[in-house]
Structure 1
């Protein structure tokens, strides 16, 4: 291109046209064990393939030394499900680089919110519930529960948790809280990287009654006495205040930490300083060296 245009071209990640390969041409990079074949995930994949076929083609790369052989980068469970179903070939995408060690890390697995939206889109497109349930390897009752899972949860909380490993059953606890509390709880889940139902039960127990949906039900959480719940409410409010204070001062504190560690590194490169501290305060020198080795700032 002339002028200020882009020079060169962007390398393609895949060959422009997919190819149909026999299953015996594919070399798996990891085994699909009997335990994996008994898993819920494998059963869902097998059911989906049986009902609607392979939606996402497996990804392969040409073998560097063996002609007509391909290394399977992504799709091991799909290939095993096809093999068990008696299939002989499958349409594949051919990658231009061998990314076997990093490919799966770049894939966003289907989160609960994404699954919910996928179900809604399928229903909007008039896909019968029975067929959709078979494709997901669940019954129709469970499908309907998944479809209603986000009812009563504010859009802001849903957006925050859309790509997090949150089970749909967790949202049934969130909907018992008022919207502002839902957002606070979502922030805490993300901040502490905890998304289990047990953790949500704890946060529900720590939520004051005036921040719960007034549905007429008393706030009872199994395993907690009224006194314990009252104590948790106070401690939760205190923790939230501390978290907010930390968020406000995080940038300044981190800057101070970077400067301090940089100063320590420079200080301990001076032989005379190291010799003096080692002779007079050996325990202090050991502690300073541990701080530098750990270097939480990554500087």
Structure 2
């Protein structure tokens, strides 16, 4: 008997709609300092040159379906308002639980910017016009256009929301797909995406996981040292996977243990007993409780 096919819930309404900006509720204002920022100027210039490439995202108000809450696109909406525009084409999200209503201003992730550039070029915008709109050198546009060529989809997905230097992607392209995935996972685990960190991963990679063999010896490292780095990197990868596998269970045990310690320390009789008979243990329990409270 065939199992019923699960339905994937759509994240957005099927078609974007034109909404009066006055009907879009904002949970914060864009400050004058942000309006003077480089990113604000780039977005404003892009809208002037090529129009609104990425529509703002809104959610319908639960009480009044003709009112909306802005989920993503505060700067774009602010620029349109500053220019006196009355309406904006928006995507309507069907679920707002995954959004934070832009409590924090976040920069456009590198891969998201790459996709925005590809979308603009597909619409017929020239590289020169994009460079002028973003106030960057045309070579920068060309590098960003080919950003993920030679990088496997799984690694791209791991890094899609991260702010990764363009040169780091160049280092990843020196690795075979399986190693690209491992490198991306290591970067996410360490929250480290610098070019130097990427180069250290490449230097510690076995020859059979490189796209091309090393043309020259890594500066300052002998062949024996490189072999040692490769061995230690492989060991570290195995240990990381073991830790990742057990993390959920260990975290649950930790939460239960901390809860039990907190319950013990809330009992005055237990505290007096520990102070009298186990004076070394009591301070350690108190440190655990204090650390958890601070976390």
TM-score normalised to the size of structure 1?
0.69
Do the aligned partners of 1:74 and 1:103 also contact (CA within 8 Å) in 2?
A: no
Q: How do 1:189-204 residues align onto structure 2 when only pairs under 5 Å count? A: 189-204=187-202
Counterpart pick for 1:239 among 236, 243, 258? 236
The answer to whether residue 20 in structure 2 is matched with residue 18 in structure 1 is: yes
The structure with the larger Rg is 1
Tell me what 1:138 maps to.
136
Runs of 4+ in 1 over 6 A off after TM superposition: 80-83
Deviation at 1:124, TM superposition (A): 2.4
Tell me what 1:30 maps to.
31
Query: Would the alpha carbon gap of residues 297 and 183 (structure 1) be closer, same or farther in structure 2, given more than 3 Å must change?
Result: farther
Tell me what 2:211 maps to.
213
Query: Would the alpha carbon gap of residues 166 and 105 (structure 1) be closer, same or farther in structure 2, given more than 3 Å must change?
Result: farther
2-structure distance, mates of 1:19, 1:77: 11
Tell me what 1:99 maps to.
none
Per-residue CA distance 1:55-100 (angstroms, 9 max, x = gap):
66799xxxxxxxxxxxxx97569868997xxx6x34467xxxxxxx
Do the aligned partners of 1:177 and 1:213 also contact (CA within 8 Å) in 2?
A: yes
Tell me what 1:225 maps to.
221
Query: Would the alpha carbon gap of residues 38 and 191 (structure 1) be closer, same or farther in structure 2, given more than 3 Å must change?
Result: closer
Query: Would the alpha carbon gap of residues 230 and 278 (structure 1) be closer, same or farther in structure 2, given more than 3 Å must change?
Result: same
Q: How many residues align?
A: 249
Tell me what 2:117 maps to.
119
2-structure distance, mates of 1:272, 1:263: 15
Do the aligned partners of 1:112 and 1:166 also contact (CA within 8 Å) in 2?
A: yes
Quick check: 123-132 or 42-51, which moved more?
A: 42-51
List runs of 5+ in structure 2 lacking aligned partners: 1-17, 23-27, 59-71, 89-99
TM-score normalised to the size of structure 2?
0.69
2-structure distance, mates of 1:139, 1:121: 19
Coordinate RMSD, CA, aligned: 3.6
Tell me what 1:280 maps to.
277
List runs of 5+ in structure 1 lacking aligned partners: 1-15, 21-26, 60-72, 94-101
